[in-house]
Amino acid sequence: MLFSPQSLGALRLANRVIMAPMTRDRAGLGDMPTDLMVEYYRQRAGAGLIVTEGVQPCPEGKGYWRTPGIHSPGQVEGWRRVAEAVHGAGGLIAMQLMHCGRVVVPANRGFTAEVVAPSAIRCPAQVPGPDGAPADCAEPRALAAEELPAVAEQFAQAARNARAAGIDAVELHCASGYLINQFLNPASNQRTDAYGGSAENRARFPAMVVRALAQAVGADRVGIRISPGNPYNAMDPADPAATFGPFLDALGDLPLAWVHVVDMSLPDLDTLAFVRAHWAGPVIANNMLKADSAEALLQAGRAEAVSFGRAFIANPDLVARMQAGAPLAKPDFSLLYTGEARGYTDYPALDAA
């Protein structure tokens, strides 16, 4: 089933092998996509769908060094070149919208912007600074309730910008301790208003953003990514079902294109079964999959598609290699976030190798 067509919302995929979003830190001046990024994504267009690296929907959303945005005319034009390259190679591409919230090292930005979060609680985790060394995150300002519709509109405008650039769909990053996850999680959301307290209240703003995206570009071109039980960036991993169940329930009436699930292999929760119990639409399964384990998930009906991250780094033609049963090249992990072309666009396809 890996290589059979599959529909995800408005998108008709040639196969069910998805390229997962991966931060690569190669954006250029003004956080615009570069020629290298155009080539990187073009090389991987054999995926049924590419989901881009996290893209900041607004200046306040940037937390990491050299990550791209989708809020300026130059950024939109840069992503248009990426989309045209992927489409020219026969592929489809979705943009992951990632607002870092409190996970911000200000020196990574190259401009001045507020650091905002659900509550004024500094992220205790360190993240890489401009030189790659771990650095402390900034103290955030808590967003006021009356500001939240405007923040949701920033996401909606980013989605409209992505579609104007020719991007086929958007995926809202609701995992890894970033803004949406920060609202969902009690470790970072200690509000006492309608957007804090109970899990249902904590899901209120995330659901607002998803609905704003659906209204902006159509629910059938919107997906979300979740990772129940993931402690990354100081999230409380306890009781993920209670945290994410109300969020999925709040989206039940929206015909979203997919829910992308990072399965943490939790000892006390079958994550994919949990998602199926709260979500009737298509599921993309992710995390440490191989071709055989991915095929087994599809055969069992536990997911409609599967995503691979690191395998796509060193294997731009991953789908072709899987179809041929060929061995996979291994990535140079020292070049994940640095090196320009090295470790980025210089991995050869199988026939060239």
Query: So which residues are the catalytic ones?
Result: 178
**Bridge partners of residue 172, in order along the sequence:** 97, 224
How far apart are the C-alpha atoms of 348 and 350, rounded to whole Å?
Answer: 6
Cβ 70 vs Cβ 165: under 8 Å: yes
Phi, psi of 237 (to 5 degrees): -80, -5
The set of residues, in sequence order, having a beta carbon less than 8 Å from that of 231 and lying 6+ positions away, is 237
Strands (E) across the chain are located at: 6-8, 11-13, 17-19, 49-55, 93-97, 116-117, 127-128, 134-135, 141-142, 169-173, 222-226, 258-262, 283-286, 305-308
- Lookup: tokens for 248: 């999925």
The three-class DSSP label of residue 12 is strand
Q: Say which DSSP state 20 is in.
A: P
H/E element, 311 = helix 310-314
Name the residue among 15, 188, 158, 6 with its Cα closest to residue 91: 15
How far apart are the C-alpha atoms of 218 and 220, rounded to whole Å?
Answer: 5
- Residue for token pair 């900034």: 138
Strands 141-142 and 258-262: unpaired
How far apart are the C-alpha atoms of 112 and 123, rounded to whole Å?
Answer: 19
The three-class DSSP label of residue 208 is helix
- Residue for token pair 């969902």: 184
- Residue for token pair 């953003």: 209
Cβ 148 vs Cβ 118: under 8 Å: no
